[in-house]
Chain A
Amino acid sequence: MNISIVNGHLIDPANGIDEPLDLHIQGQQIVAVGPAPDGFVADETIDATDRIVCPGLVDIAAALREPGAAAKGTLASETRAAARGGITTVVCTPDTDPAIDTPAVVELIHRTARKLRRARILTAGALTQGLAGQQLSNAAALKGAGCVALSNTRRPLANTLVERRALEYAATFGMTVILCPEDRHLRAGGCAHEGAVATRLGLPGIPSAAETVAVARDLALAEHTGARIHFHALSCAGSARMLREAQAAKLAVSADVAAHQLHLTEMDVEDFDANCHLIPPLRTLADRDALRQAVADGTIAAICSDHQPHEPDAKEAPFPETEPGISGLKTLLALTLRLVDEGVLPLSEAIARVTCGPSNLLDLPYGRLSIGAAADICIFDPRSHWTLKAREMASEGHNTPFDGWEFSGAVTHTLFNGRLVYQQDPS
């Protein structure tokens, strides 16, 4: 099918485009930007007047829960949520059950996702078998099956020697290792940032050092092994500073930040709101501002959803006993656009952080509107205002602290591989 998207304002940071241009799709590919190719006849025309047309979003870390935790989410429910959020490529974290540590699990996920045809589901393979942190996974086989990176999620590695070997082995096959920097001893069973709010509420604290100690260790090992590492979900100023220094020293290291970390702080835990129970925890205003700065100057090249959908019961308990995480696919674009409204970075840069930014980190060809690229498109109306209703989210998980927040920039269309997978109800 041929589709033309006309009268919109095209933003494609990967190609430096930020101007009113039409876009034409043939089959699964983008075939022209600007005037239609000779002889091109559109079967369908999408009028994008007053809208922004940008690449479909690339989310570098989302827990999709299938296989193993259908009450929290399935590929069907979470890809529907992705489409509604303008997200067309999702890297699924390996903490499924069973973990993504064999080609069979990779294949199961890819096959299910291909049938659903709502978003491209890529997989990060487990760094160790069963994510148990002891024995290396079959990285070459996982790469062969299509894994785009390796990660042990937030599960600890047995020791620094295992980490060293895992980095070396991954580097053998040129695989990026995604690390969630955390010293589990310093975390010490904490559930909120160790600071004024946790002190007042008597919540066991997680010091910033639980992250910075791990970042320092991981950077030293990255330098020693020459492995390509990527930090997932940084939460504190010290981590951003070390990352900036490491990049200045030409180390192959990158990072992402969860969209909510750029907006919420420890103060939001005030009410024992279990929806603000996150790991890493919400930290101080100074941390939030340092993360924003790192996103603005490109030190942190990707903003992710860190999507962790939960069933209602997971959040129905005293705060420390609830399961951490936010169902974040719906708000990834909205929270990123909010950074533009708040003057953190210009719109095209903001879009880069959720499209070509994450895509480039994993050497993926997505998140761009190049001729011949997959026709993954997000169209949104930057002036329309909408209110988040947690209960109406397509994700199986309705756990969000943003319920009732008003956002600007509603997604009106999402196209994945040249196919319309979401269209906003015109009413």
Chain B
Amino acid sequence: MVSTQQHNIQLNEQGRLRHFLTIEGLKRDLLTRILDTAESFAALPGRPVRKVPTLRGRIITNLFFENSTRTRTTFELAAKRLSADVLNFNVSTSATSKGETLLDTLRNIEAMHSEMFVVRHNQSGAAHFIARHAAPGVSVINAGDGRHAHPTQAMLDMFTIRKHKGDFTPLRVAIVGDVLHSRVARSQILALNTLGVTEVRVVGPRTLIPTDARALGVHVHHDIESGLRDVDVVIMLRLQKERMAGALLPSEEEYFRLYGLTNERLAVARPDAIVMHPGPMNRGVEMDSEVADGPRSVILQQVSYGIAVRMAVMSMCMQTHADSGESA
């Protein structure tokens, strides 16, 4: 019963998107609708995303408790392309280690008639917490919470995959690296399985693969060669330097030797396999520059699609509120 509640908090009674907190509990047709909407906003080759008046006069607040210039900028650009006004709040987590402060922050910004919060926080569940406490007419979009979820990143990755592969169903996808600490990986796995791919694999040493990973709906490989065999998509995850200090890995060198992506390793994948990375990339740690800059890499496209996907999610959430007559 409890889990139903969780799944429903981001949907209204008609099953439409009120908040975008996690991929979990969203159906395939809804994910497809997000991708189709993003398609309508997507840039023509060589031209910027066009500006539309969809959210004119609306206020969107970027509420970032964790630094991320890149993600914040793409959300800001997406909001501006939708003609919304944007407020940016960078709140240091040390100042808001108490929940009352977090709620106080929320109330204060709501008082400025902001109708949408784009939230990034270093604690899992933070976006759910804010969504539960937000006023009825306010949408919350999760821009990354702890290790839990980063659903817009996952959707822009799905958008990238669809652009290159068309149909999801025959695909085999390998996600390589620090799955344990990755909110991106969790959201990608959910999205890929919901969209009906043939197989999702996670590849890494035992220290970086979470307990009971199979419960996520993946096959676990500790050997990169078996992990990459015949896959259509390779997603490399970022490796944080702290993992060495935390006794999770001995050294970047050994990690690269065992799990770094090189052209030789990529040879066991399908000949038309694409290589992705949610960024920012550590060249020579997760992958060779030769691969990153090579013909199979779609890393830069991922970044440009990010704006269209975020425009899609923002406009869909706002539309749900507008249709139901709620306002902040």
Contacts and interface: CB of A to CB of B under 8 A. Distances in A.
Interface of A: 194-196, 198-205, 207, 267-268, 270-273, 313-322
B218 to A, nearest CB: 11
A271 B4 CA distance: 9
Interface of B: 2-3, 5-6, 24, 97-100, 102-103, 121, 123-126, 128-129, 133, 145-149, 183, 186, 210-213, 215-216
B2 A268 contact: yes
Q: Chain B CB within 10 Å — which of A196, A203, A207, A272 has the most? A: A272
A196 B147 contact: no
A205 B211 contact: yes
Nearest to A277: B125
Contact of B97 (A199, A201, A316, A321): A321
B3 A316 contact: no
A399 B124 CA distance: 21
A201 B99 contact: no
Contact of B125 (A199, A203, A267): A203
B125 A318 contact: yes
Nearest to B24: A200
Given A318-B102, A318-B126, 7 more contacts: A199-B212, A202-B124, A202-B148, A203-B125, A207-B211, A270-B2, A321-B99
B125 A201 contact: yes
Contacts, number: 93
B213 A199 contact: yes
B99 A270 contact: no
Given A202-B147, A271-B2, A271-B6, A317 B99 contact: yes
A320 B124 contact: yes
Contact of B129 (A195, A196, A318): A318
Contacts of A196: 211-212, 215
Contacts of A314: 99
Contact of A203 (B5, B102, B103, B148): B148
Contacts of B5: 271
A321 B211 contact: no
A282 to B, nearest CB: 12
Contacts of A273: 2
Nearest to A194: B211
Contacts of A202: 124, 145-149, 183, 186
Q: Chain A CB within 10 Å — which of B24, B133, B211, B215 has the most? A: B211
B177 to A, nearest CB: 16
B117 to A, nearest CB: 14
Given A199-B216, A202-B147, A202-B183, A317 B6 contact: no
A196 B216 CA distance: 8
